[in-house]
Amino acid sequence: MDPKKIETEGNSDPNQSGRVYHLALDIGGSLAKLVYFTKKDDGYVHGEERISPQEALAKSKGSRSYPVVKGRLNFMRFETSKINDLLEFIKSEKLHLGGSRQQDVPGNQNMFIKATGGGAYKYADLFKERLGISLDKEDEMDCLVAGANFLLKVVPEEAFTYLDEQKQFVQIDHNDLYPYLLVNIGSGVSMIKVEGAGKFERVSGTSIGGGTFWGLGRLLTKCKSFDELLEMSYRGNNRVIDMLVGDIYGGTDYSKIGLASTAIASSFGKAISDNKKIEDYNPEDIARSLLRMISNNIGQISYLNALRFGLKRIFFGGFFIRSHPFTMDTISVAVNYWSKGEAKAMFLRHEGFLGAVGAFMSSDKHGLEELLAPGNMSCAVDSRHDSVNGELNGDESIECRLYAS
């Protein structure tokens, strides 16, 4: 999909009704993500809602005066441990009716929806039992890369940098997007070298990711949710628990090797000598130290892999980030420090939905794959409907139109 025109307008009612045109799932170890498209009633060219997208494509004759499909791309997430909430939402909104049937099996009334992630296997029987639908499974890495490529090419201001509390959107040259390193931080972390559409390789990863933060956080702070743990970290002070270079060198820098007094020498290092029990520490400080430890580690490993393959662009995705300022700043500082300023960490607005978007794009329902093929369609984003501060922390929708190119 090659966008010819991108326009952003004011927000309208994000709950505007529409028919479900298609949906897809990415069910991970910690979170389940849902992407679905609701088509407006006047969604086809000339308002002829009963004609197919292919007929609309032919009628439009490439004119940008007539959208082939108009509607809203919706993003939602649920905790995987509360999978029943996701099932109930799909059922109450009748989203499963946006699935597809196998056309090559005469008389087959089985309804399928695209899904990726380990949960697509783990919960397949539950979806069949509760909703009467089958999960058509797509490869997780294929979906991650397809989703990232699509969003970077289609959605304006999708990528941005964040350093020293300064957020700057990055203009992506579609002709110079590749190669790049995609770092997806879910329960664990995967690092993928992307060289083109469908051309990628998982080159590294680490088991220390979002699941580590959440799991250790629950054990150490008794928090009840990932969001609560993130909020606690925002109020904490990691210097109470982390051993800094200055703690070792009497408050001074170790200038010979370029370490500032404020650099962390040992995460959780002060707990060795403080002679305190865990109850004596502020849970917010523990959460902050834990978040910084994991973010620093991911940032460093990511840059070392980018250096290994000569990659200058590093995009970070996955719901571990949640547009959390401290997380992004820590990762950015790590990349900036180890690269000596030569590389930058870039983040994605729809960071947690890459796999779900990729699964969505893999569908050929109603000729979607044909319509969205490069050269056939372009997209205009009319408006976003998300949180007041403009950050995507959970649910969002994008109002858009698909045009014949």
* Chain CA centroid to CA 61, Å: 35
Distance CA 114, CA 136 (A): 5
Domain ranges of the chain: 19-145+353-404, 159-241+281-348
Is 352 within 8 Å of 318 (Cβ atoms)? yes
Tens-digit pLDDT profile for residues 246-277: 988 888 988 888 888 888 999 999 998 878 88
Q: Measuring CA to CA, which residue among 25, 3, 20, 75 is closest to residue 362?
A: 25
340: pLDDT confidence band, cut at 50, 70 and 90? confident
**pLDDT above 90 as % of the chain:** 45
Q: Out of 173-177, 233-237, 294-298, which region has the weakest mean confidence (pLDDT)? A: 173-177
Q: What integer pLDDT is reported at residue 304 of this predicted model?
A: 95
Q: Out of 50-54, 354-358, 362-366, which region has the weakest mean confidence (pLDDT)? A: 50-54
Q: What count of other Cβ atoms lies within 10 Å of the Cβ of residue 342? A: 12
Is 346 within 8 Å of 170 (Cβ atoms)? yes
Q: What count of other Cβ atoms lies within 10 Å of the Cβ of residue 341? A: 9
* CATH class in words for 159-241+281-348: alpha beta
Q: Which residues of 313-331 are buried (b: 16+ CB within 10 A; e: fewer)?
A: bbbbbbbbbbbbebbbbbb
Q: Measuring CA to CA, which residue among 366, 365, 314 is closest to residue 339?
A: 314
pLDDT greater than 50 at residue 405: no
Tens-digit pLDDT profile for residues 303-319: 999 999 999 899 999 88
Find where tokens 């409907």 sit: 385
Tens-digit pLDDT profile for residues 385-395: 443 333 444 45
pLDDT greater than 80 at residue 367: no
Q: Is 85 helix (H, G, I), strand (E, B) or coil?
A: helix
Distance CA 392, CA 232 (A): 19
pLDDT greater than 50 at residue 4: no
pLDDT greater than 90 at residue 135: yes
CATH superfamily of this structure's domain 19-145+353-404: ATPase, nucleotide binding domain (3.30.420.40)
pLDDT greater than 80 at residue 109: no
pLDDT greater than 50 at residue 8: no
Ordered DSSP codes for 299-362? HHHHHHHHHHHT--EEEEESTTTTT-HHHHHHHHHHHHHHTTTS-EEEEETTGGGHHHHHHHHT
Output the average pLDDT for the chain: 80
Same CATH fold assignment for domains 19-145+353-404 and 159-241+281-348: yes
pLDDT greater than 90 at residue 120: yes
